[in-house]
């Protein structure tokens, strides 16, 4: 069942049934000010940090869900309603929500009154705009009351949801005309406030939640709306809100519009007040003045559209499959940018108060956006690397505001350092910017021990070699990519963190997955050294990689697939000899991607086993059989009920590793069949089962052992975005940035005869056409550049503005 449709021309998803299985959201903002916005106008705003500068309040764990946000209320005689349906849930005659790139339009109509909300956050300004247009489609004059409503958060979202004994006494507001100022804590150490304004004259307002809602009232039927007016309240403590009320008499066919805006403003310390207790509103006035007319509103939107068009034009594909086109050209790329902005902080499943930026997550996210924003990717790499520890290990997370490693969680996740090599390699291949390796970068944020980025890579590589276990395989530490495979934790006490408790990082437990990573990214590291002319060092690295490959085939191979690990007692994990959890996806994908066993046959066997044991109609599960009991020696993985999350869920993030592996084996049909299984655009028709947004990936789909098989969770902020974008564009379409140019090596379904790609690469636009006259799955036999045949291999980077490339398979 569908709840809407794609509008590829306008780059929108249009929701036409407001009762989506879950709130289907969008992200507004791409600089410092962000808003999460659902299809019924739920959501919240924050400035830079979703925990420390939360502007509006959101209650997550609160049924009925999604009633805090940016709602517009209409009172029309006895009927109260919202254009986005929530929170009154009055049935609408017509409803549409258009989620576009950085903006959302919601249109609702009831009894011949149509209301449109157009919301976006302009480029480079800290403001959420919401233009509301009413139209009387009736043949007679109508009398309408219009209300806006937001609820303020007292800035620190964590404190805001816990510390009521203080917070119910701190709230402070000011109102001047149509401008409602939220200034809690401004009197003391804050030099920022929020302002919620209307560009038209208002008839009344409220800033006390209780007065607006009514005593024991609810967002579904606020007393003020029922009364047809607000009470002009100024909140002192309790819950400060902002509500505007405008009374309208609309002639038949008449239209009225008003622009509401929610802005965040900082004021220099010595200019905070204009007189005792009265805040300096000048910076707010200035910002509001930039968006207080329709013309300015429209111009801001135009600039925003141009920004997205330019970013997305860096990779445009045209194939016979419209779903592939819309994922690559619009939604998958868009999601990659959202992961760049948000990391894992704020979604409808991440509260914005928990995690900082993950070391491994951020490195992997980069694979998906480096071609769109190479300059910002460069800075991101330097920020991440500066948190690396001196021994080459990594803090598992860092805080975006301070950019410092987070010592509460610490390090010891032994895959982390190798992801740094992965993202630096991708960055150099994209940009050719070898200079980044000479940048001096702190270790542990200490300038006194700074060294070159190349030295950081060296320590990443050596970190694995310095931490080998009894089978010469890498020690797993607290966990590897799979945060929940905690082989050194042994947690018996509820509430303990599986990631940070436990006796030690362990001298025995080993990871075959990290071994695969070491081979894959160790080869990349060696290539980088060769390019720099460091041949001896490169040869030594290659030797270490070859030894690891041998160790994997000797002690990391289970007969039909790659083993997952050895536990703290040296027992096998992910082996046919185990009672449950006999086979895991991660080492199959990673080891084959690394090229292990490709020549000698193990790779093919491993992929056959994946197909037989792990593949389902909704994707590949992490492991099989699911653990049915809690295992002290395995940790959090066995804490989840069978079929969910890391315990045999379909983790969308590592499905593309197997897809990549299939492309390495030349199996284009198989790669694409797998691609479709988790790709949201292909799941649109089963939205009642999949439940999350059909335009973005979710982290996890319930596996075959789960009662809710096929149900997605945790949409938006997942490494899946970057990996699926990479596997489709590089593995399947075969457009692979390389150190000295573009390599084009497609691995496609045999029924594809031709496709085109426009790819901006190092300042040149490549217009690429791939012809497949013999309906092959892989193998290029001819390359023409600007009409001239060149030898097979990498197409050297060009200095021209545009280049025409023809590939014949």
| Catalytic site positions | 483
The yes or no reply on residue 347 touching ligand GLC (CB under 6 A) is no
- Per-residue binding letters, 705-734, with ligand GLC (x by CB under 6 A): -------------x----------------
Torsion sign, CA atoms 75, 76, 82, 86: positive
Instruction: Name which position in 6, 308, 481, 562 contacts ligand GLC (CB under 6 A).
Output: 481
Residue 244, strand partner residues: 205
Alpha helical stretches, state H, 556-654: 585-593, 602-609
Q: Which stretch binds ligand GLC (CB under 6 A): 135-143, 377-385, 478-486, 702-710?
A: 478-486
Report the residue number, 582 or 699, with the smaller CB distance to ligand GLC: 699
* Closest separation in Å from C-beta 160 to ligand GLC: 23
160 binds ligand GLC (CB under 6 A): no
Compare residues 582 and 718 and give the one whose CB is closer to ligand GLC.
Answer: 718
State in angstroms the smallest separation of the CB of 698 from ligand GLC: 11
Least distance (Å) from ligand GLC to the CB of residue 481?
5
- To ligand GLC, the closest distance from the beta carbon of 380 in angstroms equals 16
- Which range touches ligand GLC (CB under 6 A), out of 353-361, 551-559, 739-747, 776-784? 353-361
Query: How many chain residues are in contact with ligand GLC, going by CB under 6 A?
Result: 14
Find the binder of ligand GLC among 130, 160, 316, 361 (CB under 6 A).
361
Q: Are 41 and 82 in contact (CB under 8 A)?
A: yes
Comparison of 149 and 723: residue with beta carbon closer to ligand GLC: 723
Helix (H, G, I), strand (E, B) or coil at 322: helix
Q: What does the block give as tokens for 195?
A: 């302002």
Q: ∠ at Cα 767 (766, 772), nearest 5°?
A: 120
Measured from the CB atom, is 489 or 747 closer to ligand GLC?
489
Tokens of 532: 């720099």
Q: Shortest distance, CB of residue 344 to ligand GLC, whole angstroms?
A: 5
Residue nearest ligand GLC, Cβ-based: 483
**Residues 268-275: contacts with CB under 8 Å, at least 24 apart:** 268/191, 269/191, 272/186, 272/191
Minimum distance of ligand GLC from residue 444's CB (angstroms) = 21
Q: Answer left, alpha or beta for residue 512, where phi above 0 means left and psi between -120 and 50 means alpha.
A: alpha
Q: CA of 189: how far to CAs of 234, 272, 278, 453, in Å?
A: 22, 11, 15, 38
Nearer to ligand GLC, 35 or 718 (CB): 718
> Minimal distance in Å, beta carbon 576 to ligand GLC?
24
Let me know how many helices (H) and strands (E) the chain has, helices first.
21, 45
Contacts of 439 (CB under 8 A, 6+ apart): 382, 452, 453
The site string for ligand GLC over 422-461 (x = CB under 6 A, - otherwise) reads: ----------------------------------------
Provide the token pair at 639: 């804490």
Query: Which residue among 104, 199, 362, 499 contacts ligand GLC (CB under 6 A)?
Result: 499
**Residue selected from 602, 636, 684, 711 as contacting ligand GLC according to rule CB under 6 A:** 636
- How many residues appear in the chain? 809
Instruction: By CB under 6 A, tell whether 360 contacts ligand GLC.
Output: yes
2, exposed or middle or buried, with CB in 10 Å at 0-12, 13-18, 19+? middle
Closer residue to ligand GLC in complex, CB, 360/564: 360
> How much is the CA Rg of the chain, to the nearest whole Å?
28
The window from 91-99, 316-324, 357-365, 774-782 that contacts ligand GLC (CB under 6 A) reads: 357-365
- Closest residue by Cα to residue 511 from 456, 450, 586: 586
CB 393 within 8 A of CB 416: yes
In the complex, which residues of this chain contact ligand GLC (CB under 6 A)? Answer: 344, 358, 360-361, 481-484, 499, 636, 645-646, 699, 718
């Amino acid at each position: 069942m569908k709840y809407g449709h794609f509008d590829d021309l306008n780059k929108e998803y249009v929701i036409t049934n407001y009762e989506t299985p879950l709130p289907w959201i969008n992200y507004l903002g791409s600089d410092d000010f962000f808003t999460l916005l659902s299809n019924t106008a739920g959501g919240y705003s924050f400035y830079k940090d979703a925990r420390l500068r939360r502007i509006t309040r959101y209650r997550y764990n609160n049924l009925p869900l999604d009633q805090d946000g940016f709602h517009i209320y209409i009172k029309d005689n006895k009927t109260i309603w919202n254009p986005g349906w929530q929170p009154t849930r009055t049935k609408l005659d017509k409803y549409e929500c258009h989620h576009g790139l950085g903006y959302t339009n919601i249109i609702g109509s009831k009894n011949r009154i149509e209301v449109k909300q157009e919301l976006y956050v302009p480029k480079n300004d800290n403001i959420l705009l919401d233009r509301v247009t009413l139209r009387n489609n009736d043949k007679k004059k109508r009398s309408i009351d219009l209300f806006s409503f937001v609820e303020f958060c007292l800035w620190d979202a964590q404190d805001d949801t816990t510390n009521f004994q203080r917070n119910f006494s701190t709230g402070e507001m000011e109102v001047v005309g149509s401008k409602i100022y939220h200034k809690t804590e401004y009197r003391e150490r804050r030099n920022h406030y929020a302002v919620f304004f209307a560009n038209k004259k208002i008839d009344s307002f409220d800033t006390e939640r209780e007065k607006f809602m009514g005593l024991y009232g609810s967002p579904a039927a606020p007393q003020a709306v029922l009364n047809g007016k607000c009470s002009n309240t100024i909140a002192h403590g309790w819950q400060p809100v902002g509500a505007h009320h405008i009374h309208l008499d609309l002639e038949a066919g008449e239209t009225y519009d008003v622009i509401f805006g929610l802005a965040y403003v900082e004021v220099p310390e010595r200019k905070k007040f204009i007189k005792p207790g009265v805040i300096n509103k000048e910076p707010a006035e200035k910002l509001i003045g930039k968006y207080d007319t329709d013309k300015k509103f429209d111009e801001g939107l135009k600039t925003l559209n141009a920004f997205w068009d330019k970013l997305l034009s860096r990779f445009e594909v045209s194939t016979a499959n419209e779903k592939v086109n819309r994922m690559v050209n619009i939604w998958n790329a868009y999601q990659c940018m959202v992961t760049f902005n948000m990391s894992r902080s704020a979604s409808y499943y991440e509260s914005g108060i928990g995690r900082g930026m993950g070391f491994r997550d951020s490195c992997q996210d980069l694979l998906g956006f480096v071609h769109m924003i190479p300059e910002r990717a460069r800075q991101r790499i330097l920020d991440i690397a500066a948190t690396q520890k001196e021994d080459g290990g990594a803090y598992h997370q860092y805080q975006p505001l301070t950019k410092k490693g987070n010592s509460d969680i610490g390090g010891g996740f032994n895959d982390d350092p190798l992801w740094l090599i992965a993202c630096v390699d991708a960055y150099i291949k994209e940009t050719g910017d070898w200079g980044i390796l000479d940048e001096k970068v702190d270790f542990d944020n200490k300038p006194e021990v700074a060294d070159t980025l190349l030295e950081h890579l060296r320590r990443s590589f050596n970190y694995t070699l310095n931490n080998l276990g009894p089978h010469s395989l890498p020690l797993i530490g607290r966990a590897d990519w799979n945060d929940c495979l905690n082989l050194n934790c042994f947690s018996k006490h509820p509430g303990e963190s599986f990631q940070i408790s436990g006796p030690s990082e362990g001298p025995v437990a080993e990871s075959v997955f990290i071994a695969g990573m070491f081979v894959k990214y160790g080869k990349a590291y060696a290539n980088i050294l060769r390019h720099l002319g460091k041949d001896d060092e490169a040869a030594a690295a290659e030797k270490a990689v070859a030894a690891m490959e041998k160790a994997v085939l000797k002690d990391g191979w289970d007969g039909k697939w790659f083993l997952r690990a050895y536990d703290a007692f040296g027992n096998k994990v992910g082996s046919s000899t185990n009672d449950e959890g006999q086979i895991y996806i991660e080492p199959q994908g990673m080891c084959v991607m690394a090229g292990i066993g490709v020549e000698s046959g193990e790779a093919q066997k491993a992929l056959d086993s994946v197909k037989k044991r792990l593949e389902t109609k909704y994707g590949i599960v992490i492991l099989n059989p699911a653990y049915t009991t809690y295992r002290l020696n395995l940790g959090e993985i066995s804490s989840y009920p069978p079929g969910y999350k890391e315990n045999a869920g379909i983790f969308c993030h590592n499905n593309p590793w197997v897809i990549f592996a299939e492309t390495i084996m030349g199996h284009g049909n198989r790669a694409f069949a797998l691609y479709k299984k988790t790709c949201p655009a292909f799941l649109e028709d089963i939205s009642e089962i999949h439940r999350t947004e059909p335009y973005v990936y979710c982290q996890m789909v319930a596996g075959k052992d789960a009662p809710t098989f096929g149900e997605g969770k945790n949409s938006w902020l997942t490494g899946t975005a970057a990996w699926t974008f990479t596997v489709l564009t590089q593995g399947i379409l075969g457009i692979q940035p390389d150190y000295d140019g573009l390599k084009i090596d497609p691995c496609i379904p045999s029924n594809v005869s031709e496709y085109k790609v426009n790819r901006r690469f190092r300042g040149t636009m490549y217009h690429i056409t791939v012809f497949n006259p013999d309906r092959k799955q892989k193998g290029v036999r001819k390359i023409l550049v600007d009409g001239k045949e060149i030898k097979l291999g990498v197409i050297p980077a060009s200095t021209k503005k545009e280049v025409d490339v023809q590939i014949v398979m």
